[in-house]
Structure 1
Amino acid sequence: MHARTHSQPESPSPASTDESHDAFEAAYDTLIARWGVPVEAIDVPSRFGATRVNACGPRDAPPLVLLHGGRANSASWYANAAVLARTRRVYAPDTIGDPGRSRNTGQPVRARQDLLDWLAHLLAALEIQHTDLCGHSFGAWLALAHTLRAPRGSIARLALLDPTQCFAGFAPACLWHALPGMLRPARGNEAYLRWETGGADLDPDWLALHRLSAAVPTGKIIAGRRPKPRALRALDVPVLVLPAELSRVHNIDTVAERASRTLPHAVVDTLPGVSHHMIPFTRPETLNKKLTEFFTSAV
Structure 2
Amino acid sequence: MSERFSAAYDALLARWPAGTAELTVPTPYGPTRVHAYGPPDGEPLVLLHGGGATGTVWYANAPALGARHRLYAVDILGDAGRSLRAGRPLRDAADLADWLGTVLDGLGLPTAALCGHSYGAWLAVTFARRSPQRVTRLALLDPTQVFGGFRPGYLLRALPTLLRPTAARVRRYLAWETEGSTPDRGWSELYVLGAIDRPGGRPVTGRRADPGGLTVPALVLFAGRSRAHDAQALTVRARRRLPHAEVDMLPGLTHHAIPTAAPAELDRRLLVFLAREHPGG
Sort the TM-score into its range (normalised by shorter chain). over 0.9
Residue 254 of structure 1: how far off its partner (Å) = 2.1
For 1:54, the equivalent position in structure 2 comes to 35
Name the SS for the 2:26 alignment partner. strand
CA distance in 2, matches of 1:233, 1:167: 9
For 1:259, the equivalent position in structure 2 comes to 238
Residue 189 of structure 1: how far off its partner (Å) = 2.2
One-letter identity of the residue aligned with 1:158: L
1:225 and 2:204 are equivalent in the alignment: no
CA distance in 2, matches of 1:220, 1:202: 23
For 2:183, the equivalent position in structure 1 comes to 202
Change (3 A) 1:221 1:207: closer
Change (3 A) 1:257 1:37: farther
130-139 or 97-106, larger mean C-alpha shift: 97-106
For 1:185, the equivalent position in structure 2 comes to 165
Name the SS for the 1:281 alignment partner. coil
For 1:170, the equivalent position in structure 2 comes to 150
Residue 220 of structure 1: how far off its partner (Å) = 3.5
For 1:157, the equivalent position in structure 2 comes to 137
For 1:294, the equivalent position in structure 2 comes to 273
1:281 and 2:263 are equivalent in the alignment: no
Residue 82 of structure 1: how far off its partner (Å) = 1.1
Q: Where in structure 1 do 4 or more consecutive aligned residues deviate above 4 Å? A: none
CA distance in 2, matches of 1:142, 1:162: 13
Partner deviation per Cα, 1:179-237 (whole Å, 9 max, x = no partner): 21012222432222122112655322112212221223333453342234xxx342111
Name the SS for the 2:250 alignment partner. coil
Asked if 1 retains the 8 angstrom alpha-carbon contact of 2:178 and 2:257, the reply is yes
Asked if 1 retains the 8 angstrom alpha-carbon contact of 2:228 and 2:255, the reply is yes
Structure 2 unmatched runs, 5+: none
Asked if 2 retains the 8 angstrom alpha-carbon contact of 1:141 and 1:224, the reply is no
Partner deviation per Cα, 1:6-59 (whole Å, 9 max, x = no partner): xxxxxxxxxxxxxx7222222112111212241111101112110001000010
Name the SS for the 1:83 alignment partner. helix
For 1:81, the equivalent position in structure 2 comes to 62
Q: Percent identity?
A: 47
CA distance in 2, matches of 1:244, 1:37: 30
CA distance in 1, matches of 2:127, 2:183: 31
Structure 1 unmatched runs, 5+: 1-19
Asked if 1 retains the 8 angstrom alpha-carbon contact of 2:78 and 2:84, the reply is yes
One-letter identity of the residue aligned with 2:204: I
CA distance in 1, matches of 2:33, 2:131: 22
One-letter identity of the residue aligned with 1:31: L
Residue 106 of structure 1: how far off its partner (Å) = 2.4
Q: What is the aligned length?
A: 276
Residue 138 of structure 1: how far off its partner (Å) = 0.4
1:64 and 2:80 are equivalent in the alignment: no
Partner deviation per Cα, 1:104-155 (whole Å, 9 max, x = no partner): 1223322111211110111111111121110000000100111111143x21
1:29 and 2:26 are equivalent in the alignment: no
Change (3 A) 1:100 1:221: closer
For 2:83, the equivalent position in structure 1 comes to 102
Change (3 A) 1:140 1:254: same
- TM-score, structure 1 length as denominator? 0.88
One-letter identity of the residue aligned with 1:126: L
One-letter identity of the residue aligned with 2:230: N
One-letter identity of the residue aligned with 2:208: R
Asked if 2 retains the 8 angstrom alpha-carbon contact of 1:186 and 1:215, the reply is no
Provide the aligned C-alpha RMSD in A.
Answer: 1.6
For 1:146, the equivalent position in structure 2 comes to 127
